[in-house]
Copies of this chain bind each other. A is one copy, B any other.
Amino acid sequence: MEGHTPEPGEGPEAADILASTRTLVDPELRRAVDTLPGSLRRVARYHFGWEHADGTPAAGSAGKAIRPALVLTAVRALGGEPAGAVRAAAAVELVHNFTLLHDDVMDRDTTRRHRPTAWTVFGDADAILAGDALQALAQRMLAEDPHPGAPAASARLAACVMELCAGQHADCALERRGPDEVTLDECLAMAEAKTGALLGCACALGAVYAGAGLDAVDSLDGFGREAGLAFQLIDDVIGIWGDPGHTGKPAGADLAARKKSLPVVAALASGTPAAAELAELYDGPQGKPGSALDAERAARAVESAGGRDWAQVHAADRMSRAIGQLAGAVPDLEAAGGLLALAEFVTRRTH
């Protein structure tokens, strides 16, 4: 496990939860990946940051482990034993990484976690196959888990994958359309499917492993989904106005790529003069950084059109809905504390 230094915006509790999650889940994850056939194991170990492209060990991290932490923390919040849900936590992380491998192929993204993406190193076919194998590995882990919650967890995780695929489809479809042909509702639905669904599923799996009833499981799913939407809104704000202290993501990056992020679409829908100015600036192919867009001017237009305020108010609204869902299932605020700390954490920084 790599060292962990708390950063601004990350409370000590979230840091502790994430660190102890990695201690529990990382060995299980590595053991699982080591059962892949050799050719695909290499691609997966590179993708997770455990190996360099030449197969030598790397000190990199597989990420913050937010999703596994949500699984284990939800188990605890509902009175279960987190140590019994380590396989479910690892399965969720495997699914997350399967979708990253495939999304990078489809989106032609060349960088992930500050390294070249797997398809740029191993080719499209191996990145697709490694993703396929990781999805299978996640399901095999659950199928081999004697825990009584495993079949329900397997069904929920599989249903979540279908939703993630629909979300990625919607994302690709929205990117191809002009900025005036995209509605805010479509973008919110896409963000829920692409980002909210797996955070919700992680929380729901924790509830399942704690032996909770269906109502509580669904409430935990709702909690994760709403928190996920709040996270996406804040992430989109950071993608425009930046938060270099936390993320290193430069201000204006999303605007320069003409990304139809939520604050931008909200601004475009505002009917203000700033919306018209923004539409004109966005009138070009998305994702082509060469066709320079004045990011500072665009950021001012999004702000004048109310996109920034809308995103912040809407994020707060989603967080309060998330807390409402959680309160319904976990009346004891102390028991819910870990989940709240993680939700606070994900809405304050990117991953």
- Write out, one digit per residue, whether chain A residues 134-159 have a CB within 8 A of any chain B CB (1) or not (0): 01110110111000001110110011
Given contacts A40-B165, A106-B125, A128-B102, contact A159 B172 (CB under 8 A): no
Complex Cα distance, B155 from A150, in Å, reads 12
| A122 CB → nearest B CB, Å | 10
A59 within 8 A of B: no
Chain B residue contacts of A105, Cβ below 8 A: 128
A37 within 8 A of B: yes
Q: Which of A209-244 contact B (CB under 8 A)?
A: none
Complex Cα distance, B162 from A98, in Å, reads 13
| A105 CB → nearest B CB, Å | 7
Q: Is the CB of A161 within 8 A of B136?
A: yes
Given contacts A136-B159, A158-B137, contact A125 B37 (CB under 8 A): no
Q: Is the CB of B154 within 8 A of A139?
A: yes
A133 within 8 A of B: yes
A126 within 8 A of B: yes
Q: Is the CB of A154 within 8 A of B165?
A: no
Chain B residue contacts of A165, Cβ below 8 A: 37, 40, 129-130, 132-133, 136
A327 within 8 A of B: no
User: Per DSSP, are chain A's interface residues mostly helix, strand or loop, or mixed?
Assistant: helix
A36 within 8 A of B: yes
Q: Is the CB of B125 within 8 A of A166?
A: no
A56 within 8 A of B: no
Cβ 8 A contact of A158, one of B143, B163, B166, B169: B143
| A56 CB → nearest B CB, Å | 21
Q: Is the CB of B124 within 8 A of A106?
A: yes
Complex Cα distance, B132 from A328, in Å, reads 34
A253 within 8 A of B: no
| A88 CB → nearest B CB, Å | 13
| A310 CB → nearest B CB, Å | 27
Chain B residue contacts of A5, Cβ below 8 A: none
Q: Is the CB of B129 within 8 A of A169?
A: yes
A168 within 8 A of B: yes
Chain B residue contacts of A155, Cβ below 8 A: 140, 143-144
Given contacts A151-B151, A155-B143, contact A162 B128 (CB under 8 A): no
Q: Is the CB of B143 within 8 A of A151?
A: yes
Chain B residue contacts of A102, Cβ below 8 A: 128-129, 132
Cβ 8 A contact of A136, one of B131, B135, B150: B135
Chain B residue contacts of A129, Cβ below 8 A: 102, 106, 165-166, 168-169
Q: Is the CB of A39 within 8 A of B135?
A: no
Q: Name which of A132, A150, A152 has the most chain B CB atoms within 10 A of its CB.
A: A132
Q: Is the CB of B173 within 8 A of A39?
A: yes
Chain B residue contacts of A162, Cβ below 8 A: 35-37, 40, 133, 136-137, 140
13 CB < 8 A contacts A-B = A39-B166, A40-B162, A40-B166, A102-B128, A102-B129, A106-B125, A106-B128, A129-B165, A132-B165, A137-B158, A140-B162, A143-B152, A144-B151
State the 10 A-B residue pairs at the shortest beta-carbon distance, nearest first. Answer: A37-B166, A140-B158, A136-B161, A143-B155, A143-B154, A106-B125, A136-B158, A129-B165, A133-B165, A139-B158
